[in-house]
Every structure is written in structure tokens, then in C-alpha cells.
Structure 1
Amino acid sequence: MMTDVVESSGGMASRKTGDGDTDPRPGDGGGVPASSTGPETAGTGTNDSAAAARIMAIRERIDEIDRTLIELWQERAGLSQQVGATRIASGGTRLVLSREREILERFRQALGADGTQLALLLLRAGRGPL
């Protein structure tokens, strides 16, 4: 079962949906705006059929991106594991901290604090926990 998370910023609140979308709500966290035109279209959070179709199309692209990210994550982890195994087999160290710092900095510069967290997860996937 998925729980909705409500974030509030200024006069609007958003309900996080399961696919990374947000569902804008009035600041009090109330329901769908009164301008709705019919029954909610399957899981889109809107009663407007044109908006629901647009949401579904965007979500299809999000799903494609997610599949690609997963594939790339797995490929990157495998390559990183190969690097580590090659380094250890040749008498090297398990980790090269300067390389990890370089990766952390690259992600931080591109994505801010969230980038640092993402890089830490990527590094762990490739080398395992410290």
C-alpha cells in the first residue's frame, strides 16, 4: 500500500504520486478543483480527459527513462566491480578515494546535494558498503 506525502510550499501543496509526479492541491490540502469535468481518469488525479491523456503520455516517457536508468545503473555497477576486481588482483587497493571524491564532486556540481547522495548510492552499488 502506498502512502501519499504532502509537501507544502507557499500557497500550494503537492501530493507525491507513485511515479514521481506531484498532484497540485489547494494550500489546505483539499480536493480537486471545482472546474473538473467528469469522473477521475484512472489514477491520473484529474477529471479532465485532455489533461489525463497528457499525464498518461508523460508517464509513458517517465517509465522509459526509469527502465534506461535501471539498465545503466546495473551496467555501471558491473563495470565498477570489474575495475575493483582487476585492481585487487593486481595487488592494488580496494578503493581509490581520490576517484570517489572526483565522482562525488561531479555529481554535486551537476545536481547539488541530491547529486552527492546519488553518487554515494552509485559508488556503493559498484564497490559494496565500506
Structure 2
Amino acid sequence: MEQNGGPAGAGATSNGSDAASSAGPENPGTGTTEPVAAARIAEIRGRIDEIDRTLIELWQERAELSREVGATRMASGGTRLVLSREQEILERFRSSLGADGTQLALLLLRAGRGPL
């Protein structure tokens, strides 16, 4: 889905007409018929894809490290969870990213420790 709410490359304008019929062929997947804009969109999306790959790798690494912390703590007689640590993480994400940060932190915590 693109930001306009429709599928990528849909080509429908706000009046319901097909943009490709009035403005020339649309560059596939960019939502624009303007070549310079289409090239810039492709360049930006390339960087977004790189960031996504990095985020996925970091997510997986973080989850593994978190599981290792939990296993080490429990093997030494400690508790499964340290709620003060989870609260610290939630607050860090909330203060930096707002309500969405809280949701992201909850997902990260769950990935590392599993559901409560």
C-alpha cells in the first residue's frame, strides 16, 4: 500500500480517472509519471530496504541476546523476568518515540522473552 491508501502503482486520481491515460505511462511501483521523481523514489526505497534489512538483523540479534540473559539469570537461580529492566526499556522507547515507541518496545521484549 502506498501513502494514498491504494495499492502501489494503482494510477487512479482523486476524480477516479486513470492517471496513466492522461499523463503518460506510469513508472511501475513509484506512483508517478515523472522520470526524475520516479528515479528519486527508487533511490530512497533502496535505502529504506537497506535499513529494513539492518533492522531485521538487529532485531534477531537483540532477541537472541535477551534469551541468553534470561537463561543465564535463571540458571543462576534468578527470576525469569526483571520487571524494573523492562520498565526501563519501555520508558526509553516511549520517551524517544511516543506511544508507538511503547508498542515497539513491547514487541522487542516479547521477541526476547516470549509472551507473559
Give yes or no for TM over 0.5: yes
Partner residue, 2:114: 128
Runs of 5+ consecutive residues of structure 1 not aligned to the other structure = 7-13, 19-24
Corresponding residue to 1:66 among 47, 52, 56: 52
% identical aligned pairs:
71
Which has the larger share of strand? 1
Say whether 1:113 aligns with 2:99: yes
How many residues get paired?
113
The alpha-carbon deviation at position 15 of structure 1 amounts to 2.4
Listed as ranges, the matches of 1:1-130 within 5 Å are 4=1, 14-15=4-5, 30=16, 37-130=23-116
Q: Per-residue CA shift, 1:67-104, capped at 9, x if unaligned? A: 00000000000000000000000000000000000000
Regions of 4+ moved over 4 Å: 28-34
Q: Per-residue CA shift, 1:22-68, capped at 9, x if unaligned? A: xxx97x5756779x742010111111111110000000000000000
Counterpart Cα distance in 2 of 1:84 and 1:29:
56
Question: Is 1:46–1:52's contact at 8 Å kept on the other side of the alignment?
Answer: yes
Counterpart Cα distance in 2 of 1:29 and 1:76:
47
Question: Is 1:37–1:48's contact at 8 Å kept on the other side of the alignment?
Answer: no
Counterpart Cα distance in 1 of 2:100 and 2:31:
27
Tell me the TM-score normalized by structure 2. 0.85
Counterpart Cα distance in 2 of 1:89 and 1:56:
49
RMSD: 2.6
